[in-house]
Amino acid sequence: MMAESDEVGVSEASWPYWTRSLWINLLRIGVVGGFFLLWEMAAGRWIEPFLISSPSRIFSSFIANIQSGTLIGHTWVTLQEIGIGFPLGAISGISAGYLFGRSRTLAEIFEPIIIALYGVPRTALAPLFIVWLGIGIWSKVGVVLLLTFFLNFFNTYAGMKQMDREYIDLARLMGAKGHTLTFRVILPAVSPYIFTGLKTSIPFSVIVAVVGEFIASTEGIGFFIRLSAGIFRTADVFVGIIVLMSMVIFMNTIAGLIERRVLQWQTQTEHVRIQG
Amino acid sequence: MQEPEGKRSEQTITREAAEQPESSEHLVIQVENVSKVFHTRKQGRMVALEDLTLGVPYGKFVTVVGPSGCGKSTLLKLIAGLIPVSAGRILYQGVEVRGLSTKVGYVPQESKLFPWLTLEENVGFGLESRNYTRQERERRVRDYIKLAGLTGFEKHYPAQLSGGMSKRASIIRALAYDPPVILMDEPFGPLDAQTRMILQDELLKIWKKRQQTILFVTHDLVEAVALADRVVVMSHRPGRIKDILEVPMARPRNIFEIHRQDGFEETYAHLWSIFRHELEIKFEEEDPEVE
Ligand SMILES: Nc1ncnc2c1ncn2[C@@H]1O[C@H](COP(=O)(O)OP(=O)(O)OP(=O)(O)O)[C@@H](O)[C@H]1O
Ligand SMILES: [Mg+2]
């Protein structure tokens, strides 16, 4: 039924908005719930539980891990690595992209160097950072920072190159300089690109932090997952994965909220649908 | 506006004659032997303007017409200092323009409102970096928005405005901070006939109040005559000044019945005779097989 109305499009529009969104939510819950039910049934019946665990086992090990305090400790460590590395990388990346976009000389000198550096596989840098910064959180902060820097740098720089220069010229004709020019004209003009950079670097920053922890660490969610997998505590592995997923979802939500505020000049018109 | 009476009676004067009676003191903008050459990778050298000389007197409404691609936009950009001249020089109040000139307002061919600012922020943008008090700024923004008939849309973003509304907004954005000279590049180009006339009428009223100098590019000969004290005709490639006509019509003018006004038909006919010749040259150049 849904597929049909999706194709026709007209009958869809005649539905009150809330009825449609209610249906979509119900169906979504149904799909996810069905999946968990099937998983629960399959575990121990058709597939070995140590391979896929089961929702009920994951839930009880989640509770147990929280009660013992281990999960909170590991989560806190990973959060710190991302919480320090991500903002530093994002701010420096956006600033560098902005500066390169403003100064042709800077761009000419450093652009090839940065592109060459970016060509180095990022995960291969993790061991190097561990050698330099030890197995504590700072080596992971380092890799998160580096990756976030690159992603934000490239997106901001691309935005600076593609933005309509005429806006800058017009603003300068109207007397804008320095601070006004940067914050009222240039950064807003490239803000869609900046947000693309921020949003793509969110999942990647979590990935590299965990990869860093896989390689060498004594704490963090990555360490927790690796340890649990080593002793076939599959339920704990899933608990770790769920924590990582929650982190990404949380960061995406925050980024989405900020984006909607900052880019409201773009999104406000979206209500007008030509579809009718 | 405050020109001597004698001049009104002269119907049209040639380029040489137009330059003589004005001493350079009356000119706010002087374009002296300016050439502009673009270097492109594919076509190589492209002479957009060649040895162009033009004076714009204080307080006048000067329109510029010419075939498409003759360098009208280029001329405005040179005067605004958006692009450098290849040869010659441009003076603003007797001082050579080097780099962007913050003394002129510029209304680009497309509206180019800042999409991330609301209508009132756009209109007030030029006031921000000048010495206006907050109240003064707000008052001016409100007045101009009212003048342009945009009251009620202050908080709207450009994407939520119609084409005509954006055009009006783009014009008052340039007027609001009172630059002594305003350059307008086909500001009413893509609008329908009625909206166009209404805006032309409004523009003339604003101009009368403010006494600013306006250099106005258009491809519409009726518009060129209806608005101007003086019409500059440019020739096709390389862009040069072909002729300059004085428009002897009295002000205030009734834009909506401009054809009936004394002096319109004669000036228009004269302008058309010059322009037609220009178009013929252009067609022969581009399509030599058509006899
Ligand atoms: N940035 C540029 N690079 C190369 N060539 C250019 C550039 N800007 C303009 N030109 C060329 O200069 C010539 C004059 O262009 P311009 O935009 O001034 O014409 P115009 O008279 O404003 O035309 P229209 O009435 O169509 O707007 C054109 O042939 C155009 O191709
Ligand atoms: Mg043009």
Contact in structure between B139 and A210 (CB atoms under 8 Å): no
Q: Cβ contacts (< 8 Å) between B114 and chain A: which residues?
A: 167, 171, 185, 188
Among B101, B112, B129, beta carbon nearest to A170: B112
How far is the alpha carbon of B202 from chain A, nearest alpha carbon, in Å? 22
Distance (Å, whole) CA B143 – CA B157? 19
Residue A188 touches partner B, C-beta closer than 8 Å: yes
Structural domain includes residue A125: yes
Q: Whose CA is nearest to atom 28 of ligand 1?
A: B69
Q: Is the pLDDT of residue B242 over 80?
A: yes
Q: What percent of chain B has pLDDT over 70?
A: 87
* 8 Å CB contact of A191 and B116: yes
In chain A, the number of structural domains is: 1
Q: Give the closest ligand to the alpha carbon of residue B185.
A: 2
Q: Give the closest ligand to the alpha carbon of residue B72.
A: 1
Count CB-CB contacts under 10 A for residue B69. Answer: 13
* 8 Å CB contact of A175 and B114: no
Query: What residues form DSSP beta bridges with B19?
Result: none
User: Cβ < 6 Å from ligand 1: which residues?
Assistant: B 38, 40, 46, 48, 66, 68-74, 219
* 8 Å CB contact of B82 and A188: no
Structural domain includes residue A62: no
Residue A136 exposed, middle or buried by CB count within 10 Å (0-12, 13-18, 19+): middle
CATH number of the domain that A106 lies in? 1.10.3720.10
Structural domain includes residue A29: no
Query: Of all atoms in ligand 1, which is nearest to the CA of residue B70?
Result: 21
Distance (Å, whole) CA B221 – CA B226? 8
What stretch of H or E contains B52? Answer: strand B44-57
Q: Phi first, then psi: give them for residue B222, nearest 5 degrees.
A: -60, -45
Ligand 2 centroid to Cα of residue B219, in Å, is 9
- Helix boundaries (H) for A174-233: 178-180, 187-215, 221-230
- A200-215 confidence digits (pLDDT tens): 999 999 999 999 999 8
- Taking chain A (276 residues) in runs of 10, the rounded mean pLDDT of each run is 44 69 92 93 86 89 91 94 96 94 88 82 81 90 93 93 91 90 93 93 93 90 93 92 94 92 74 43
Write down the pLDDT at residue B8.
40
Write down the pLDDT at residue B285.
62
Q: Cβ contacts (< 8 Å) between A173 and chain B: which residues?
A: 80, 82, 100-102, 104-106
How far is the alpha carbon of B102 from chain A, nearest alpha carbon, in Å? 5
Is the Cα dihedral A85, A87, A92, A93 positive or negative?
positive
Contact in structure between B214 and B179 (CB atoms under 8 Å): no
Boundaries of domain holding A211: 69-262
Q: Which amino acid is at A184?
A: R
Q: Concatenated DSSP letters for B29-47?
A: EEEEEEEEEEEETTTEEEE
ipTM above 0.85, yes or no: no
Ligand 2 centroid to Cα of residue B76, in Å, is 9
Distance (Å, whole) CA B36 – CA B161? 36
Query: Of all atoms in ligand 1, which is nearest to the CA of residue B72?
Result: 21
Q: Give the closest ligand to the alpha carbon of residue B218.
A: 1
Q: How confident is the model at residue B288 (pLDDT cuts 50, 70, 90)?
A: low
Pairs of CB atoms within 8 A across A/B: 65
Structural domain includes residue A3: no
Q: Cβ contacts (< 8 Å) between A269 and chain B: which residues?
A: 157, 159-160
Q: Is the pLDDT of residue B110 over 70?
A: yes
Query: What residues form DSSP beta bridges with B55?
Result: B30
Residue A173 touches partner B, C-beta closer than 8 Å: yes
What radius of gyration, in Å, describes the C-alpha atoms of chain B?
Answer: 19
Write down the pLDDT at residue B206.
83
Residue among A120, A89, A83, A109 nearest A220 (CA): A83
Q: Cβ contacts (< 8 Å) between A174 and chain B: which residues?
A: 102, 105, 125-126, 129, 173, 177
Distance (Å, whole) CA A199 – CA A177? 30
Q: Cβ contacts (< 8 Å) between A265 and chain B: which residues?
A: 115-117, 157-159
Q: Is the pLDDT of residue B153 over 70?
A: yes
Structural domain includes residue A139: yes
To test the pocket of ligand 1, the residue of B42, B72, B232 to mutate (highest count of ligand atoms within 8 Å of its CB) is B72
Among A167, A172, A265, beta carbon nearest to B100: A172
Burial per residue of B96-127, b for 16 or more beta-carbon CB atoms within 10 angstroms, e otherwise: ebeebbbbbbbbbbebbbbbbbbbbbbbbbbb
Q: Is the pLDDT of residue B290 over 60?
A: no
| Residues having C-beta closer than 5 Å to ion ligand 2 | B 73
- B266-283 confidence digits (pLDDT tens): 888 888 888 787 767 666
Write down the pLDDT at residue B115.
94
Write down the pLDDT at residue B50.
87
Rounded average pLDDT over B37-58: 86
Tell me how far CA of residue B174 lies from CA of A98, A170, B55, B163, B246, in angstroms.
28, 10, 22, 17, 26
Distance (Å, whole) CA B180 – CA B212? 5
Structural domain includes residue A267: no
Structural domain includes residue A33: no
Structural domain includes residue A83: yes
Rounded average pLDDT over B255-260: 83
